Structure 1
């Protein structure tokens, strides 16, 4: 009995002192920001844990990833069918906040199927419709949205919060545990 307890204790101590994660590489804690070259897009898809900060600009297009220096090679950020996809190639553990700063003239929608959050803290003005689809646990927070119409559909546990929304028509659907919160909707 004593040998089993001693063996178990030694195994726990050995595993707790490991520098490499059991299921993936461990971030080194050194923050790096890297500009990612991408083509034009009008939607953003977040099937990962990476948070996205979006800013509407007059004509600039830029995508910048901030992450652990040694983990940047594992992020997969690309445009497919006019959709900016923010994904990861394998499992790893980060030591710093990982996020993507995205600037573009406009977007028509966001799809969140992972745990990454979307933040739009400046005014977003769209001529047509804007859609938020969330089937993951990631949240969407928008400060000010002006569009012809808006659709918010939540089927996961992620929440949608919009401080101000000016639209001609809006549709809200929630079949998951996520909440939709709007402060000023006209």
Structure 2
């Protein structure tokens, strides 16, 4: 049985753990016609692809990886982060396939999109202190077959609202540096240095 506050990967080698402290920078690249974002891990390596909004409108979805990294730090769960950082738990074939595999990653991307659509209708939660009960219930149902099922609706709501607080800073400042502390369950935003 998985305990509520236990880190899901604490019994794995460091190379298969979500880093306990890490930094990710979101840097706008491209031209005025097409805004793109490059994500760099610990000032060293690009993680994931350079992202556009993949939309007819400029809706800032290019910053959506903040949700994956926030879920990793605040919930201890993000198959997308594991894939981007190459920290899947390959030493356990079943965990690699189910918890860190394609279905889990697709589930997380779907959650990100469902929440994004609600957030977009609500000024990215700028003046809201709650995520709709419907959305939170859907998230719990979508994740009931994964280890993250032990996280409460309140845990999810906190992770979502904190991620959107940082998301709004990223939009306002056209990027930034975000520090994550998995142990303290903290996410902090800093301006990019010019």
Q: Aligning the two structures, in what range does the TM-score lie when normalised by the shorter sequence?
A: under 0.3
Question: Which TM-score applies when normalising by structure 2?
Answer: 0.25
- Structure number with higher helix proportion: 2
Structure of higher CA gyration radius: 1
